[in-house]
Amino acid sequence: MAQNFEVHPENPQARFLKQTAQILHAGGVAAIPTDSSYALVCRLDDKAAVENLRRIRGVDDKHHLTLLCRDLSELASYARVDNQQYRLLKLATPGPFTFILEATKEVPRRLSHPSRRTIGLRVPDHKVTQELLAIFGQPLLATTLIPPGEDEPLNDAADISARFDKLLQVIVDAGACALQPTTVIDLSGDEPVLVRRGQGDPDKLGLSFD
């Protein structure tokens, strides 16, 4: 059964986040709030935890998982970023954007896209997520908490608990999140490609997609 930690969305209790970080370091999978929706997270270098996360979410290795990073300096350790891409990322972070970038050797090959060697990365703008990342000490591997076979992410911790209590180790309840997913932009090619239009507005980045 999952441990349920109810935390304040703007001033989360550190003891609950420390317990969550300990469980994640030990190989657990957690449901946490972000600035777009609740997400499933685990340690990026724990193969069993990653397989468990994919199983819970109902996706295979072709589905892009995302690294949640604290800031751009941390993101740059896991993705190859040129000057033009960096300027774009600086405008977008922290915020509800996910960028698909070429992965560095710091990313285990089994986590990147099997044919493209790319990874999704983002810097979330949510106090609970940011403080958990700070305590955890490294990026978390994440995927939006959308139940298998459904299209909408879950937004209520009680609903998450009712449906996933036996599959998760931790549920961090910070109240309702936005229900709109992140905007996904692929920067791995010559030109930016809009993969999914979500909460983030590409116009704010100077990008115009038809």
> How far is it, in rounded angstroms, from Cα 122 to Cα 64?
12
Q: How confident is the model at residue 124 (pLDDT cuts 50, 70, 90)?
A: very high
Q: How confident is the model at residue 76 (pLDDT cuts 50, 70, 90)?
A: confident
Scan for tokens 């993101």, then name that residue.
Answer: 75
> Of 115, 100, 102, which Cα lies nearest the Cα of 192?
100
Contact present, 48 and 27 (Cβ < 8 Å): yes
Q: What is the mean pLDDT of residues 111-139?
A: 89
Which residue did the predictor score with more confidence, 183 or 104? 183
pTM of the model: 0.92
Element (H, E) at 129: helix 127-136
**Over 80: is that where the pLDDT of 50 sits?**
yes
Bridge partners, 3 (sequence order)? 170
> How far is it, in rounded angstroms, from Cα 197 to Cα 205?
13
Residue 205: the pLDDT is: 87
Scan for tokens 């957690």, then name that residue.
Answer: 30
